Amino acid sequence: MPKTSPEIGGMGHSVKRKEDPRFIRGKGNYVDDITLPDMLYLDIVRSPFAHATIKNIDTAKALATPGVLAVITGKDLAAYNLHWMPTLMSDTQMVLPVEKVMYQAQEVAAVLATDRYTAADGVDAVEVDYDPLPVVVDPFKALAPDAPVLRTDKEGKKDNHIWHWEWGDKSATDQAFDEAEVKVSQDIYIPRIHVSSIETCGCIASFDKINGKLTVWMTTQAPHAIRTVFALVAGHVGLQEHKIQIISPDIGGGFGGKVPVYPGYVIAVAASVLTGKPVKWIEDRMENLQADSFARDYHIAAELAGKKDGTLTALRIKTVADHGYTDAAANPSKFPAGLFHICTGSYDLKAAHVEVDGVYTNKPPGGIAYRCSFRVTEAVHAIERMTDLMAHEIGMDPADLRMKNFIPSDKFPYKSALGWEYDSGDYAGALKLAMDRIGYAELRKEQLEKRARGELMGIGISSFTEIVGAGPSKHFDILGLKMFDSAEIRVHPTCKVIARFGTKSQGQGHETTYAQIVAEELGIPASDIAVEEGDTDTAPYGLGTYASRSTPVAGAACAIAARKIRDKARKIAAYLLEAHEDDLEWEPGKFFVKGSPDRAKTIQDIALAAYTNHPQGMEAGLEAVSYYDPPNLTYPFGSYICVVDIDKGTGEVKVRRFMAVDDCGNIINPMIVEGQIHGGLTMGLAPALYEEIQYDESGNCLQGSFMNYLLPTAVETPAWETDKTCTPSPHHPLGAKGVGESATVGAPAAIVNAVVDALWHLGVRHIDIPITPAKVWKALRDAGVSE
């Protein structure tokens, strides 16, 4: 039950979004909508080869094209030591190459021109001579002793191994496996995919020579981090942090793909600094898919041990992580495999051990945290597949096996075998609700009947635990920047509010939800609260929005700052009411004297008084700032149940129903949460059935455009069914956990489990995603089944 009225619009109200009026009128302000006087355009020449020495770059024809002003190469940037820059994981990446290229579509040179069309002609006219080098696209081959060494730029590097990371008690785990009554093992490949928001990446860099100030409008989810990185990387060419402004305007979807610093941004900045003119760079879709970054690409070898009665005892995972040519993952620096060690999931596993080895290959860089916190989709895929495998192997219903092994709801805070302290959870409650809502028992009956007739129907479950809200300063930083976040709230004399944050919405509705938190805490109507994010000149420092961290971290900061304001408001109220602070009670929007409710002051009275009638000795004004260091992560969870029907003739998988029960603790705006779930589920369906990026032996990208990188339309997407349970976070000021990514994390395994469940009786044990009709057809034919 919401504590505030709908007019106030605090937590729990499905307040209509304050950002919508401009978007429904086509008056959004995305980077490519912005035009500045004298603006120039940057377009990029890209390598057709995945690995090649650059012999020569001939710019004569390009420079002779009317309207082309310059062609920038690696040699030009090298003069300023800007040809290489750090990645978010403290590896190094090329801005523009001098010696060689290391992935197909890598940036090779940049053309600066007076307009977009001329820049494209200029790119066409640049002639590059390459000497192809041997290509390595298979990470296992990359680890072979005779593999060509890719990172010849790293002095002394003799292999393609980036790092080895392991976690957990190896001997206890090995012992548990030795003693296990039942063991299941499975190799699981989670292919490369791309976030592919409908808006691609881009920027306008504008250097004001007179004032020495650089302003960059950029598609970025983390504007402050970008500003600091620019100051550190380009400080030697005169850029200073107080004279760098990053503006993240409206962003058309981020999903983690707009966190890294892409070469295009740096080249645009360099070009602007050199010319003193604004320079716009917008990647087109093929560049976006082929070059900027990627997600997943984990080769997982998982083993699960248990007893014949279905008790799970231990988990062992070895993973090879294909990072492309550089480790540009966006992970907290201590965790090169992100939060992969959440992989014991929702189960009370007593022992676990995980190892991950990062590998270089001739592919674009990354390890984007694509709507997955950090590697949580991979972790959940592994544990939920293995759990299902175990259930099928021992002949136990997968729901029963999960129920048997869930961490009981009274065991929280729960310390997992891999060291995470889960804050709260009621896994059995979520699964039970999902089973009731979908009619699980009837579906199992129907499945048996259909199977007897030779019809293929499957039911798959995914009961995931997410781990979000990075993160406590003790363990979390990106490039050394701690992962706090911030809120700065100021109440004006007429009790309207401006609230600014260190996060940056790309569609999550922060202009509405943060206002609702302030409304909840101060009783000021959400419609009276303006929310701003994204301009580093005005917003307090934060690490941005990704990994579902906004509500857990900045949302907490918002509550704390609002409470600081309320504390001061109490003092002012006491002064105005000539009462003692302790004699006052608060209800949303007003303080009143205990026992005399007519002796009251509204928050509006108090706001005005803060500027016109504040007590002597107190500073005027009514505002507060909070930089929130979360004491722990938060652990949203859920249970998803998927029903599929498989066409025996064509191999097509049809998702007949999908029930998603999510628990993200206390909810700010149910409408917005539900929208996040719908979108997240669709981003889980997509890699499960449609999306992947593959490379052939020469490093050619096979899905370099929407022709073959298959985003689901409304026809492929099921009518998602959703419900919720509510298990608040005990440590979060609002009891909220964050939810933006849960569905992307939880959904793929439910779909795979359903397909394998449909085909288990034919001897099928596993299919790697994407589960295309061609793969299903092959599995069916191998099992002797056809139409």
Partner 1 sequence: MIPRSFEYYAPRTLSEAVSLLEKLGPDAKILSGGQSLIPMMKLRLASPPFIVDINHIPDLGYISETDGSLRIGALVRESDLESSPLVRSRYPLLADTTKVIADPLVRNQATVCGNLAHGDPANDHPATMLALEAVIVAISPRGEREISIKDFFTGLFSTDLQPDEILKEIRVPTPPPRSGGTYLKMERKVGDYATAGVAVQITLDEADACLRAGVGLTNVGFTPLKAAKVEDFLKGKLIDAAAIKQASEIAAGESQPMDDIRGSADYKRDLVRVLTARALNRAIERAKGGA
Partner 2 sequence: MAKIEINVKINGAEHRAEVEPRMLLVHFLRESLRLTGTHIGCDTSHCGACTVLVDGRAVKSCTMFAAQVEGREILTVEGLEQDGKLHPLQEGFFQEHGLQCGYCTPGMLMTGVAFLAQNTSPTEDEIRHAISGNLCRCTGYVNIVKAYQHAAAQLREGGV
What is the binding site for partner 2 (CB under 8 A)? 16-17, 19-28, 30, 32-33, 35, 116-117, 195-200, 250-253, 255, 284-286, 506-509, 671-672, 674-683, 705-707, 711, 713-715, 717, 719-720
Phi, psi angle pair for 141, to nearest 5°: -65, -35
| Binding partner at 463 among partner 2, partner 1, none, C-beta below 5 to 8 Å by kind | none
Q: How far is the CB of 654 from partner 1 (least distance, A)?
A: 13
**DSSP string for residues in 708-773:** TS----TTTS---EEEE-----SSSTTSB---TTHHHHHHHHHHHHHHHHHHGGGT----PSS--H
If 0-12 CB within 10 Å is exposed, 13-18 middle and 19+ buried, where does residue 265 land? buried
Q: Which of 201, 372, 642, 701 is catalytic?
A: 372
Between CA 438 and CA 674 the distance in angstroms is 18
Number of residues that bind partner 1 (CB under 8 A): 29
| Binding partner at 778 among partner 2, partner 1, none, C-beta below 5 to 8 Å by kind | partner 1
Find out whether 259 and 220 touch, Cβ atoms under 8 Å. Answer: yes
Find out whether 440 and 356 touch, Cβ atoms under 8 Å. Answer: no
**Considering beta carbons, is residue 173 or 545 the nearer one to partner 2?**
545
Residue 708 lies near partner 1 (rule: CB under 8 A): yes
**Considering beta carbons, is residue 530 or 710 the nearer one to partner 1?**
710
Q: Which of 371, 375, 570, 657 is catalytic?
A: 371
| Binding partner at 673 among partner 2, partner 1, none, C-beta below 5 to 8 Å by kind | none
CA angle 541, 494, 620 (to 5 degrees): 65
- For this structure, is 488 an active site residue? no
Q: How far is the CB of 140 from partner 1 (least distance, A)?
A: 23
Largest CA distance in the chain: 88
Between CA 108 and CA 92 the distance in angstroms is 17
Tell which residue, 407, 352, 395, 459, has the closest CA to residue 182: 395
Residue 787 lies near partner 1 (rule: CB under 8 A): yes
**Considering beta carbons, is residue 143 or 711 the nearer one to partner 2?**
711
Tell which residue, 262, 360, 335, 317, has the closest CA to residue 51: 360
Q: Which residues of 345-357 are buried (b: 16+ CB within 10 A; e: fewer)?
A: bbbbbbbbbbbbb
| Binding partner at 163 among partner 2, partner 1, none, C-beta below 5 to 8 Å by kind | none
Q: How far is the CB of 551 from partner 1 (least distance, A)?
A: 33
Q: Please give the span between the terminal C-alpha atoms of the chain, in angstroms, as a whole number.
A: 54
Q: How far is the CB of 249 from partner 2 (least distance, A)?
A: 12
- For this structure, is 199 an active site residue? no
Range 644-673, binding partner 1 (CB under 8 A): 649-652
Sign of CA dihedral 46, 49, 51, 56: negative
Question: Six-digit token pair at 472?
Answer: 């406590």
Q: Which residues of 474-488 are buried (b: 16+ CB within 10 A; e: fewer)?
A: eebbbeebbbbbbbb
**Do strands 68-73 and 107-113 pair parallel, antiparallel, or not at all (unpaired)?**
antiparallel
Residue 284 lies near partner 1 (rule: CB under 8 A): yes
Q: Which residues pair with 644 in a beta bridge?
A: 458, 655
Q: How far is the CB of 693 from partner 1 (least distance, A)?
A: 12
Going across the sheet that includes 100-101, the strands are 100-101, 52-58, 127-132
The letter for the amino acid at 538 is: T
Between CA 336 and CA 105 the distance in angstroms is 26
| Binding segment toward partner 1, per CB under 8 A, in 169-177, 331-339, 420-428, 702-710 | 702-710
Range 733-772, binding partner 1 (CB under 8 A): 772
Question: Six-digit token pair at 221?
Answer: 């989810």
**Considering beta carbons, is residue 373 or 508 the nearer one to partner 2?**
508
- For this structure, is 447 an active site residue? no
**Considering beta carbons, is residue 14 or 215 the nearer one to partner 2?**
14
- For this structure, is 221 an active site residue? yes
Q: How far is the CB of 506 from partner 2 (least distance, A)?
A: 6
Q: Which of 93, 104, 106, 221 is catalytic?
A: 221
**Considering beta carbons, is residue 4 or 703 the nearer one to partner 1?**
703
Q: How far is the CB of 117 from partner 1 (least distance, A)?
A: 5
Interacting residue with partner 1 among 621, 712, 760, 767 (CB under 8 A): 712
**Considering beta carbons, is residue 123 or 247 the nearer one to partner 1?**
123
Between CA 291 and CA 362 the distance in angstroms is 12
Phi, psi angle pair for 616, to nearest 5°: -60, 145
**Considering beta carbons, is residue 291 or 320 the nearer one to partner 2?**
291
Residue 121 lies near partner 1 (rule: CB under 8 A): yes
Interacting residue with partner 1 among 403, 710, 767, 785 (CB under 8 A): 710
Question: Six-digit token pair at 170?
Answer: 């190896």
**Considering beta carbons, is residue 30 or 80 the nearer one to partner 2?**
30
Residue 690 lies near partner 1 (rule: CB under 8 A): yes
Find out whether 721 and 660 touch, Cβ atoms under 8 Å. Answer: yes
Peptide bond before 718: cis, by omega within 30 degrees of 0?
no
Residue 774 lies near partner 1 (rule: CB under 8 A): yes
**Considering beta carbons, is residue 118 or 416 the nearer one to partner 1?**
118
Interacting residue with partner 1 among 3, 154, 307, 778 (CB under 8 A): 778
Q: How far is the CB of 669 from partner 2 (least distance, A)?
A: 9
| Binding partner at 781 among partner 2, partner 1, none, C-beta below 5 to 8 Å by kind | partner 1
Coil, helix or strand for 664? coil
| Binding partner at 649 among partner 1, partner 2, none, C-beta below 5 to 8 Å by kind | partner 1
| Binding partner at 241 among partner 1, partner 2, none, C-beta below 5 to 8 Å by kind | none
| Binding partner at 166 among partner 2, partner 1, none, C-beta below 5 to 8 Å by kind | none
The letter for the amino acid at 551 is: T
Catalytic residues: 221, 371-372, 741
**Residue ranges that bind partner 1, judged by CB under 8 A:** 116-117, 120-121, 124, 284-286, 649-652, 690, 702-703, 708, 710, 712-713, 715-716, 772-774, 777-778, 781, 786-787
